[in-house]
A and B are shown apart, each in its own frame.
Chain A
Amino acid sequence: MDFIAEGFVQAFRLLVSLDPETFSAILATLKVSSYSMAASLIVGVPLGFLLGYARFKGRKQIRLIVDTLLSLPTVFVGLVVYAFLSNRGPFGEWGLLFTLPGIAIGQAILALPIVIALTATAVESIDDHLRLTLISLGAGRKQLFLTSLWEVRYGVLAAAVTAYGRVMTEVGISMMVGGNIKWHTRTITTAIALETNKGLFGMGVALGLVLLFIAFFVNVSVSFLRKR
């Protein structure tokens, strides 16, 4: 049990002393999660909107597939992305294995179903009355579309926060695709796994607290955006 208290002290020490290894892992985590979030939002929000807004054949089946993909195991994603990025794999010559962009590809795959599913849900839950009111006020298709888009902004924000939480905390993809290379692809979560493996539990706890600390800041900024 001692190592939990030790972890709190250590976390504080790492942050205050600007420990270079810890900050390298923090930077790697922030970079890789920014890449993957940017990619999954750019692709996922329009798809999610379409899935929730449009009425087409096979929509329910697609919805079912997306919902199933919410349960993607991270190690499995890591293994599949590794197979594609390995030098013997189809995209080997891109040289993305053991790099942050490589990890980001895996994390974007992980985040995409979350962004799509939650955006679609937000769109589906727009009040039908709003639609009717707008039409009766003489709104055109374009106006109806834009108003709906504006109405789901908080839903999209919630989708982004949820996906961010999953991306920041996953370890399977980062370990398999990134290789946990010191100063390069060592993220906070792979560092926790390593320290735990080395039996340095206190250090593991400290890094876990650091991760929570970052998540706290991200959420504070998001709630600030929401107020505006």
Chain B
Amino acid sequence: MMKIGKTLAICVLIITLSALSALCETDVLMMATTTSTDNTGLLDYLAPEFKKDTGIELRWTAAGTGKALKLGENCDVDVLTVHAPGAEKTFVEAGYGVDRREIMYNDFVIIGPKSDPADLKGKSVSDALTAIQKKEALFVSRGDNSGTNKKEIILWKEAGLRVPEKEKWYIQTGQGMLSTINIAAERNGYTMTDRGTYIKYEFNSGGNPPLAILVEGDDSLKNQYSVIAVNPGHCSGAEYETAKRFIDWITGSKAQDLIRNFKLLGKPLFIPNAE
């Protein structure tokens, strides 16, 4: 009995000490972000530089843009980095966010098996999606209300097609971009991804992935990333000043250069375009 009592006492001590150490912390900025900025390693690359320049520690939770916006609306984070311009504007108009600034872009691409059964190579986005629907070629969708998913739905509509839902050839994974690409590879299907995540996938598979880029370069495929501060008028506890410093930093020339130089396999993942 004595032994157990002693062990318990030590446990309690350790717990109290670690709880105390958690209290003395530096300036912390809490961000909700899309999976692509996290999965590609961009934030791991930028956060130490931000800390060096400002002394602020950036912490982030990665979720689809839908969940990230919800975390902002619920005042659980101070700043957002997301990529769904339409939803972002609604978010700002509803009074949840302020100071929205564009920071960088890349583009979406449609990738698929090298054998290209629906013959998409070189087609425009609308023609490619029409071909997929007509030939009932397997298409793997995020299906998670993320920025990429929102964009995909817009593209089906712009092509004048019905947005697929229960079709046999249409799979909704409900998972992140890289898992979705992996599922597409397993099932030999097509999917749409941002170029940054595709390059990361290419890198993970040793430069020789089973899925290749088939449709690219269309104006409608631009993927714009923006940063938004959570509105301090809506969330009294939001660290607006700290968020503002992050926004100024990431749209500044140093961070923009860092983004330009962030490469995998010699290819840039994002192109900075802050004004």
Contact surface of A with B, Cβ cutoff 8 Å: 31, 34-35, 38, 86-89, 92-93, 97-101, 179-182, 184, 196-200, 225, 228
Q: Would you give the 0/1 interface string for B6-46, flagging 1 where the beta carbon is closer than 8 Å to chain A?
A: 00000110110011001000000010000100010000100
Picked from B11, B35, B75, the residue with its CB within 8 Å of the CB of A34 is B11
Query: Could you say which of B126-134, B145-153, B177-185, B253-261 contacts chain A?
Result: B177-185
Instruction: Assess the A34–B15 pair: CB atoms within 8 A.
Output: yes
Report A49 CB to chain B, min CB distance, Å.
Answer: 16
> What residues on A are CB-neighbors of B15 within 8 Å?
31, 34-35, 38
Residue of A nearest to B62 (CB): A180
Contact surface of B with A, Cβ cutoff 8 Å: 3-4, 11-12, 14-15, 18-19, 22, 30, 35, 39, 44, 59-62, 74-76, 175-176, 178-179, 181-182, 200-201, 204, 235, 237
> What residues on B are CB-neighbors of A180 within 8 Å?
61-62
> What residues on B are CB-neighbors of A97 within 8 Å?
76
Picked from A31, A92, A101, A199, the residue with its CB within 8 Å of the CB of B75 is A92
Instruction: Assess the A197–B61 pair: CB atoms within 8 A.
Output: no
- Across the A-B interface, give the 5 residue pairs with the lowest CB-CB distance, nearest first: A179-B61, A87-B75, A197-B176, A199-B178, A88-B74
CA A179 to CA B62, docked complex, whole Å: 7
Number of A-B residue pairs at CB separation under 8 A:
65
Instruction: Assess the A228–B3 pair: CB atoms within 8 A.
Output: yes
Picked from A88, A89, A98, A197, the residue with its CB within 8 Å of the CB of B179 is A197
Report B122 CB to chain A, min CB distance, Å.
Answer: 27
- The interface residues of chain B, by DSSP majority, are classed as helix
Indicate whether A198 sits within 8 Å of B3 (C-beta atoms), given known contacts A87-B75, A87-B237, A181-B59. no
Residue of A nearest to B8 (CB): A38
CA A197 to CA B15, docked complex, whole Å: 32
9 A–B pairs (Cβ distance < 8 Å), ordered by A:
A34-B11, A38-B15, A88-B74, A98-B76, A181-B59, A182-B44, A197-B178, A198-B200, A199-B201
Indicate whether A199 sits within 8 Å of B35 (C-beta atoms), given known contacts A35-B15, A38-B12, A98-B30. no
Instruction: Assess the B76–A199 pair: CB atoms within 8 A.
Output: no
CA A88 to CA B237, docked complex, whole Å: 10
> What residues on A are CB-neighbors of B201 within 8 Å?
199
> What residues on A are CB-neighbors of B175 within 8 Å?
197
> What residues on A are CB-neighbors of B62 within 8 Å?
180
Picked from A89, A196, A225, the residue with its CB within 8 Å of the CB of B4 is A225
Residue of A nearest to B176 (CB): A197
Instruction: Assess the A181–B76 pair: CB atoms within 8 A.
Output: no
